[in-house]
């Protein structure tokens, strides 16, 4: 199937424009043809007095063509008016103003044209009436009568001559004799006239100059009058060129004496007769003449009205087309299409307007392009800034230092997660607010005290180690306050950094305890063997001697038992002191933790062991040490529950921080607040028979993994231990 061509708005407009051009040309040709043919026909009428109306096919054709052309003109104008009404009904852009302009043009042309028509018709009618009904008719009739009277008098003056000639000419006289008699009579009675004898239809003899045409006319008239058959013997005949007297002869022939008028006199008489005829014709055709004039005037009026209508349509279109183009163009521009270019060329104001519009859209397009380029550049810069900001934020998020940025108006501009945790505040709640209002008073005082010192500090930085309450306990923090200045040296605010020294101090303590343990183990281990050996020797050697004394056996057994205890203690100390460096392997931390939980579930069926497994990617850790640490925590939980309760173990991941978190919570009695600070120190135990090294070892393992371990209250009861280790320790992955 043939696909119809796609018609764009521009192509439709071009087709419409071509159609209108064709219409204009057609109307121009029609108007020119009407005018030309009318002129030609008018000339034809003036020239061709003998051209018959109804038999001349060319005239008919011309008249019909004129009528057809006028009808065509009327049709085109009517069609345009009809189209205009339709456009207006359909609310096509520009139709209203166009119809208004056309109405104005028609109104302005109609009123004077109709007025002119009425006046002209009235004047014409009145003129014709006054001409017909006035004295013109009397004058013309009088003139004709006078001319006729003169000619009659002339004719009568020739009566004597014809009487004499008729009396003298004998019956049957031949041409020669009759001619002689006529000549004699003419010379005697009317020397200025001419005479002839007729038979009566042909001339027998003449005297003087007898014009042939005149003689024929006279004879014809005599024949028409049946003069030969009439009783009377004489008569007079006049024409526009002659006057004559006629007399019968005795033999029935006729003698005619005639006088031809001088040419000038004949011309005047003819003019009088002509004017008389015209007057009577006009009088007879009074009504048709007036109707004809009115029809012509009406035709002219209609032509003017239609021409004015057409001109109105044309001018209205001239005005509305550029307006319509501009409106459409503006709509397109408003819709974001800046490629709009209006095709309208004219030297008038509309042409300038359209050209300005085109220039404006071109400028807008250029500006848009510049803006887009600037936007792209800004976007690139913004992306770079965002990338850098994200980089800084990532750094700030992942460092173990808490950072707060305070702007020049003492409002918090930025805060990282570590600082949030340390200060117990939420970023979204404190950003943009004065830091005095959102952080605890102790913290505020510490920062303010340090900030006061900045003015005198070298390098605009002050650093102090302070004890501040964090999470319900006082921890040791290193607080660093740095003043920010722009390139011009203007104050921009402060950067406050918090370093939690408790972990470092704990590590130092662990290391110190390890040293102590090593020395104690060394010092204790040495005398224990001699003591044990000596005691065993004493038992062997003196047990029989003191068999009746149970105290001896009891004492030596006690010594041996305590030595055994001491040895066990020394081995624990040694293990604690000699804890090897972790051997990192990449593995599934959650699987490791879950296997330990399953072991404990089997061993302690009275306790509900719940394991919550999160999405934890492969991590780098020492499986043996981590198993030891988690086992320690589960052992403690089981011990705290005394065989009944719930232990929830979780393994999750903090992808933003790059940490894996293992949590062990129980609903046991919990950890008293006073014990929490010393909980991870060696030889601190509330458990009966405990060495106090379990949690110290957990802390040491976690520290060796670069992580942290902490404890908090479980809700509603119990304790929660949380181990956080990096997924990728330094140098791994």
Q: Does 22 bind another protein (CB under 8 A)?
A: no
The residue within the footprint of another protein, chosen from 129, 187, 267, 274 (CB under 8 A), is: 274
Q: Which stretch binds another protein (CB under 8 A): 265-273, 443-451, 551-559, 614-622?
A: 265-273
Q: 219-229 b/e with 16+ CB inside 10 Å = b?
A: beebeeeebee
Contact set for another protein, span 59-88 (CB under 8 A): 63, 71, 74-75, 78-79, 82-83, 86-87
Q: Does 225 bind another protein (CB under 8 A)?
A: yes
Q: Distance (Å, rounded) from C-alpha 495 to C-alpha 526? A: 56
How near is the Cβ of 46 to another protein at its closest, in Å? 6
What is the enclosing helix (H) or strand (E) of 660?
A: strand 659-666
Q: Does 52 bind another protein (CB under 8 A)?
A: yes
Q: Which stretch binds another protein (CB under 8 A): 196-204, 277-285, 369-377, 584-592?
A: 277-285
Q: Does 91 bind another protein (CB under 8 A)?
A: no
- DSSP-assigned letters across all residues of 527-538: HHHHHHHHHHHH
In terms of CB distance, is 73 or 651 closer to another protein? Answer: 73
How near is the Cβ of 194 to another protein at its closest, in Å? 19
Q: Does 292 bind another protein (CB under 8 A)?
A: yes
In terms of CB distance, is 285 or 583 closer to another protein? Answer: 285
Local structure of residue 598 (DSSP, 8 states): H
Structure tokens of 216?
A: 């024929």
Q: Which stretch binds another protein (CB under 8 A): 222-230, 355-363, 662-670, 702-710?
A: 222-230
Return the number of other C-beta atoms located less than 10 Å from residue 58's C-beta. 10
Q: Which residues pair with 733 in a beta bridge?
A: none
Q: Distance (Å, rounded) from C-alpha 666 to C-alpha 148? A: 158
How near is the Cβ of 356 to another protein at its closest, in Å? 33
Size of the site for another protein (CB under 8 A): 53
Contact set for another protein, span 227-246 (CB under 8 A): 237-240
659-666 and 242-248 beta bridge pairing: unpaired
Q: Give burial (CB, 10 Å; 0-12/13-18/19+) of 237.
A: buried
Q: Does 53 bind another protein (CB under 8 A)?
A: yes
In terms of CB distance, is 268 or 657 closer to another protein? Answer: 268
Q: Which stretch binds another protein (CB under 8 A): 113-121, 215-223, 378-386, 612-620?
A: 215-223
For the chain, how many residues are written?
733
Structure tokens of 70?
A: 């006028």
Q: Does 262 bind another protein (CB under 8 A)?
A: no
The residue within the footprint of another protein, chosen from 153, 285, 378, 533 (CB under 8 A), is: 285
Structure tokens of 615?
A: 């999405």
How near is the Cβ of 264 to another protein at its closest, in Å? 16
In terms of CB distance, is 242 or 620 closer to another protein? Answer: 242
* Contact between residue 198 and residue 204 where contact means Cβ atoms under 8 Å apart: yes
Q: Does 46 bind another protein (CB under 8 A)?
A: yes
How near is the Cβ of 151 to another protein at its closest, in Å? 8
Q: Distance (Å, rounded) from C-alpha 531 to C-alpha 188? A: 218
How near is the Cβ of 198 to another protein at its closest, in Å? 15
619-621 and 242-248 beta bridge pairing: unpaired
The residue within the footprint of another protein, chosen from 201, 281, 370, 565 (CB under 8 A), is: 281
Q: Distance (Å, rounded) from C-alpha 309 to C-alpha 384? A: 68
Show the 3-state SS of 136-169.
Answer: HHHHHHHHHHHHHHHHHHHHHHCHHHHHHHHHHC
The residue within the footprint of another protein, chosen from 1, 5, 6, 54 (CB under 8 A), is: 54
Is 479 in a helix, a strand, or coil? strand
Q: Does 96 bind another protein (CB under 8 A)?
A: no
In terms of CB distance, is 139 or 284 closer to another protein? Answer: 284
User: Which of 179, 187, 245 is closest to 207 using CA atoms?
Assistant: 179
Show the 3-state SS of 172-231.
Answer: CCCHHHHHHHHHHHHHHHCCCCEEEEECCCCEEEEECCCCHHHHHHHHHHHHHHCHHHCC
Q: Which stretch binds another protein (CB under 8 A): 141-149, 252-260, 346-354, 364-372?
A: 141-149
Q: Does 303 bind another protein (CB under 8 A)?
A: no
Instruction: Name the residues that contact another protein, by CB under 8 A.
Output: 41-42, 45-46, 49-50, 52-55, 63, 71, 74-75, 78-79, 82-83, 86-87, 90, 144, 147-148, 151, 216-217, 220-221, 223-225, 237-240, 269, 272-274, 276-278, 280-285, 288-289, 292-293
């Amino acid at each position: 199937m043939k696909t119809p061509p796609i018609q764009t708005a521009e192509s439709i407009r071009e087709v419409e424009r071509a159609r209108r051009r064709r219409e204009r040309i057609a109307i121009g040709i029609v108007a020119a043809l009407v005018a030309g043919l009318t002129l030609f026909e008018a000339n034809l009428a003036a020239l061709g007095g003998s051209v018959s109306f109804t038999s001349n096919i060319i005239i008919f054709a011309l008249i019909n063509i004129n009528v057809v052309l006028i009808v065509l003109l009327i049709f085109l104008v009517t069609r345009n008016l009809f189209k205009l009404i339709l456009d207006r009904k359909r609310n096509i852009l520009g139709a209203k103003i166009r119809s208004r302009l056309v109405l104005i043009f028609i109104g302005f042309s109609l009123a004077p044209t109709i007025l002119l028509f009425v006046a002209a018709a009235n004047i014409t009618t009145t003129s014709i009436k006054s001409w017909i009904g006035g004295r013109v008719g009397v004058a013309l009739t009088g003139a004709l009568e006078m001319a006729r009277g003169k000619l009659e008098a002339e004719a009568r003056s020739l009566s004597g001559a014809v009487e004499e000639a008729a009396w003298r000419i004998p019956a049957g006289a031949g041409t020669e004799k009759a001619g002689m008699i006529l000549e004699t009579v003419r010379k005697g009675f009317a020397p200025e006239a001419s005479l002839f004898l007729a038979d009566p239809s042909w001339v027998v003899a003449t005297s003087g100059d007898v014009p042939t045409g005149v003689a024929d006319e006279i004879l014809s008239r005599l024949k028409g009058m049946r003069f030969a058959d009439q009783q009377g013997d004489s008569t007079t005949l006049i024409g526009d060129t002659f006057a004559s007297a006629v007399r019968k002869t005795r033999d029935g022939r006729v003698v005619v004496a005639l006088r031809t008028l001088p040419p000038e006199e004949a011309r005047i008489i003819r003019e009088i007769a002509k004017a008389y005829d015209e007057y009577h014709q006009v009088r007879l055709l009074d009504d048709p003449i007036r109707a004809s004039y009115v029809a012509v005037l009406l035709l002219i009026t209609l032509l003017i009205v239609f021409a004015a209508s057409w001109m109105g349509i044309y001018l209205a279109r001239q005005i509305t087309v550029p307006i319509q183009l501009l409106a459409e163009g503006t709509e397109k521009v408003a819709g974001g299409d800046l490629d709009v270019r209006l095709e309208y060329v004219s030297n008038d104001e509309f042409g300038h307007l359209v050209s300005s519009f085109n220039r404006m859209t071109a400028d807008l397009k250029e500006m848009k392009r510049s803006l887009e380029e600037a936007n792209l550049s800004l976007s690139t810069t913004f992306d770079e800034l965002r990338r850098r900001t994200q980089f800084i934020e990532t750094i700030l998020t992942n460092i173990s230092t808490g950072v707060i940025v305070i702007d020049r108006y003492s409002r918090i501009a930025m805060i990282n997660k570590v600082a949030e945790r340390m200060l117990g505040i939420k970023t979204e709640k404190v950003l943009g607010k004065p830091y005095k209002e959102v952080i605890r008073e102790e913290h505020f005082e510490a920062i303010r005290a340090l900030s006061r010192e900045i003015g005198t500090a070298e390098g605009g930085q002050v650093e102090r180690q302070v004890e501040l309450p964090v999470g319900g306990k006082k921890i040791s923090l290193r607080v660093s306050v740095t003043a920010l200045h722009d390139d011009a040296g203007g104050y921009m605010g402060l950067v406050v950094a918090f370093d939690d020294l408790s972990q470092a101090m704990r590590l130092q303590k662990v290391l110190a305890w390890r040293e102590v343990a090593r020395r104690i183990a060394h010092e204790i281990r040495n005398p224990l063997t001699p003591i044990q050996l000596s005691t065993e020797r004493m038992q062997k050697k003196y047990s029989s001697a003191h068999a009746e004394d149970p105290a001896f056996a009891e004492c030596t057994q006690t010594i041996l038992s305590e030595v055994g205890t001491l040895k066990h203690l020394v081995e624990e100390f040694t293990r604690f002191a000699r804890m090897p460096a972790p051997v990192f392997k990449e593995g599934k931390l959650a699987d490791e933790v879950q296997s330990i939980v399953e072991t404990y579930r089997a061993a302690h069926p009275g306790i509900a062991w719940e394991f919550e497994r999160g999405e934890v990617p492969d991590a780098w850790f020492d499986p043996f040490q981590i198993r030891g640490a988690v086992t320690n925590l589960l052992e403690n939980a089981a011990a705290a529950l005394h065989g009944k309760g719930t232990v929830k173990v979780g393994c999750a991941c903090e992808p933003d921080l790059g940490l894996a978190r293992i949590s062990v919570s129980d609903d046991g009695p919990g950890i008293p607040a006073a014990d929490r600070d010393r909980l991870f120190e060696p030889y601190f135990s509330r458990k009966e028979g405990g060495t106090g090294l379990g949690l110290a070892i957990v802390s040491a393992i976690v520290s060796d993994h670069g992580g942290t371990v902490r404890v908090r209250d479980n809700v509603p009861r119990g304790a929660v231990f949380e181990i956080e280790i990096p997924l990728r320790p330094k140098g791994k992955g």
